[in-house]
Amino acid sequence: MAKAIMLQGTGSDVGKTVLVAGLCRAAKKRGLKVRPFKPQNMSNNAAVADIPGEIGGGEIGRAQWLQAIACGVAPSIHMNPVLLKPQSDVGSQVVVQGKVFGQAKARDYQAMKAQLMGAVLDSWQKLGEDADLIIVEGAGSPAEINLRPRDIANMGFATRADVPVILVGDIDRGGVIASVAGTHLILPDADRRMIVGYLINKFRGDVTLFDDGIAAINRFTGWPCFGVVPWLKAAALLPSEDSVVLERLTAGEERALKVAVPMLGRIANFDDLDPLRAEPQVEVVFVPPGQRLPADAGLVVIPGSKSTIADLLAFRENGWDRDLEAHRRRGGNVVGICGGYQMLGRVVRDPHGIEGSVKEAEGLGLLDIETVMEPEKTVRNVTARSVHFDTPLEGYEIHLGATAGPDCLRPAAVINNTDDGATSADGKVFGTYMHGLFGADAFRAKFLESLGIKGAGIDYRGEVERALDEIAAHLEAHLDVDAILAAAR
């Protein structure tokens, strides 16, 4: 069995995902066969991992997909055995080892955890069969002791699998001394003994100014410090998983093309926009509820949704439908991806109540199509070709529902000789079920050119690889990586 080390946070969004990715890349560069693992993840940003011997694939968190890339290996359903995808009034969809297991409200899910721990440990065992090292990412914080009795994400897993833990504190949000020392104070003795040290993340300025802080934490906890990680700009190039990050992307420097993206309540796979954000001439603005879609946007992208009908109703409540109509009158372009594609049609029907109690909702009417939600879920990686620009595409599909209508006779792409998506008669509006299309460099360049913008010729996947290398080097410079690896067991 492989050795392992686990990173747990003093809270959510402390940077565990990027730290694990960076440590995975650092371990890979040292010649180790390293794998990422997150027992339980909650996110609507999912990726597709191929399942050997099966047609199609399984869902894992987008973060574990990124961490697998950092390890230089193909993503596996065993890297994230339990994925919770929040929906609307039906709670969360529970995905176990890549497949939909069911739906559960928060209280019901707590009762399911004992059963799910078996799947977690099964995936853990399988992942360790072909690895030297596993770097585990926790979820939220072990200090949530009210959840400890049935925990499978943090100390519940660490104690069962006997994995040592490094605690991560985020100094950027303030109160890091209290959060680290407070975690030490309230953890049960058995859980406290699992922690072999801590590190401080997202420091700005002169690191030596925190020397007294480290001394204070050491005095309160007795834990060694593995280092202080300064803020690194390269981390922003990596796909983000949690929608909390969107609150920091609501405005930016004015550029040649403004892309407006409504922040849907159940927004999914918003990292589809990351390749556009990387373009120097493109400003991507995520528009929160209550704010108007900017009138100076040249492009509106309606992203994926885990609850299409609920988000469609909220779209109208926010008045974004009127903003979108005005955008079209000005000659603006619109792209819908997955759930956003479904919203662009005349109607979305849910006769089986898959998403909730509302069985039908009027669409935005920009495409002459209709969508019917169906129980069977499409989950697969795909290679395709753009119909609009005759360029190769590579991405993935994760969706419920089938879409048809006259505008589907003008598809957006061809996937395995099958048409995908739809386009308006004037070519200004199109939708697709395919995630990841903006990551295709040739397509992105041609698409921007059609909007009068010259792309920068970015090799987006290459940029992600370079960012991972930079993060690994950054961690090697500011953490005692030798000591972290030595702590694994």
The yes-or-no answer on residue 435 being catalytic is: yes
The yes-or-no answer on residue 338 being catalytic is: yes
> In b/e form, how buried is each residue of 178-190, taking b as 16+ CB within 10 angstroms?
ebbbebbeebeee
Among candidate residues 184, 338, 399, 474, the one labeled active-site is: 338
Find the DSSP H helices in 3-94.
Answer: 16-29, 62-71
Distance CA 13, CA 3 (A): 26
Pairing of strands 360-362, 347-349: antiparallel
Tokens matching residue 212: 């007294």
Task: Give the burial class of 230: count Cβ atoms within 10 A of its Cβ; 0-12 exposed, 13-18 middle, 19 or more buried.
Answer: middle
| 311 touches 266 (CB < 8 A) | yes
Distance CA 202, CA 81 (A): 29
Pairing of strands 40-42, 82-86: parallel
| DSSP code at position 143 | T
| DSSP code at position 39 | S
| 453 touches 257 (CB < 8 A) | yes
Among candidate residues 78, 184, 327, 435, the one labeled active-site is: 435
| DSSP code at position 479 | B
| DSSP code at position 222 | -
Tokens matching residue 463: 């940029």
Query: Which residue is associated with the tokens 């209290």?
Result: 178
| DSSP code at position 435 | B
Distance CA 304, CA 266 (A): 8
Q: Which residues are catalytic?
A: 338, 435
